[in-house]
Amino acid sequence: MTPYPHLFYAAIIFAAIHGGWKTTIFTIFLSSLLTSHVVLPLDVNHQIPQSLSMSFFRDFMFAFVGIGVKSSRSFIVSKYVQASKDQEQMFIQMLKIAELRDPEVTGQHLERTVAYAQILLRDMDMPNKEKELIATCIPFHDIGKISIPDSILLKPGKLTFDEFETIKHHTTIGKQILENLETSIENSHMKEFVAMAKEICHFHHEKVDGTGYPLGLKGDEIPFSAKVTALCDVYDALATERPYKAPYPHEECVRIIKEGRNTHFDSELVDNFLRVEKEFNEISEKLSQ
């Protein structure tokens, strides 16, 4: 037998790190088979038959190393994922506290916009991971309002021009808040989460015809996540009661969204919305009680 059987440890460790449990077990089994006393009956170095006990001992070591590495990696990954989820939940809870300053925006508004986004994106041809990320980050869209004075934020009547200009700053302020947070995070999953939230916060008031704010972006210049947020946010603003208005009937909300096709809203998203608008209504009624 030559020293080459020890190279199988590399294959086993690679499978344990990069593959699933089935791949790891299969690699252990295959390594044991290819280095067994049946396939390699001779110990070439000593010109004697390979002993059965040595073959079994090597099988044991293959299994020990493979299962040990795989178990360790699974444990580390589970802790990493749990830490990411805990951070994500912490941010969301902080966000809900901040959003409650705005009488137009409650915890139910955040819950509804997430549900709208999930319905709107459900049948779209895009990775599920991206759909989930957009829906999870949508609650951050108005976090910049935490810096808006109460005299403006809590005003029940129509805003003056200057007051509206102040309100418009919430997009860039929110972006700055999340940008500062992003620079302090090392976790790659959380960096992706905060980057998406920042994108949504900064651009969800842009319109596809270029008349939105803060940058007046047009069409494909606007991130897709922000387009999704814009439609969901506007529908909820129309469908629910606000200090300055009663809720619009669902049919009127649909008409306004439809009229905003290619001006305010992305055409593909409007088409998708029209296919699922009844589900939007169900969510609005269920989560507004």
Helix extents (H) in 138-266: 150-153, 161-168, 170-183, 188-203, 224-239, 250-259
**Per-residue pLDDT at 234:** 97
Which tokens belong to 183?
Answer: 């620079």
pTM across the whole model: 0.70
Q: What is the pLDDT of residues 211-254, one digit of tens each?
A: 999 999 999 999 999 999 999 999 999 999 877 788 999 999 99
The CATH code of domain 100-286 reads 1.10.3210.10
Q: What is the pLDDT of residues 138-186, one digit of tens each?
A: 988 988 888 888 788 778 778 899 999 999 999 999 999 889 888 877 7
Cis peptide before 214 (omega within 30 of 0): yes
Q: What is the pLDDT of residues 251-289, one digit of tens each?
A: 999 999 999 999 999 999 999 999 999 999 999 999 876
Q: What is the pLDDT of residues 35-63, one digit of tens each?
A: 765 566 555 455 555 666 677 777 778 88
Which tokens belong to 124?
Answer: 């779209």
**Per-residue pLDDT at 185:** 75
Q: Where are the domains of the chain?
A: 4-74, 100-286
Q: With cut-offs at 50, 70 and 90, classify the pLDDT of residue 1.
A: very low
Instruction: Give the mean pLDDT of 108-129.
Output: 94
Amino acid letter, 258: K
**Per-residue pLDDT at 2:** 47
Amino acid letter, 202: H
Q: How many alpha carbons lie under 13 Å from residue 176 in its C-beta half-sphere?
A: 9
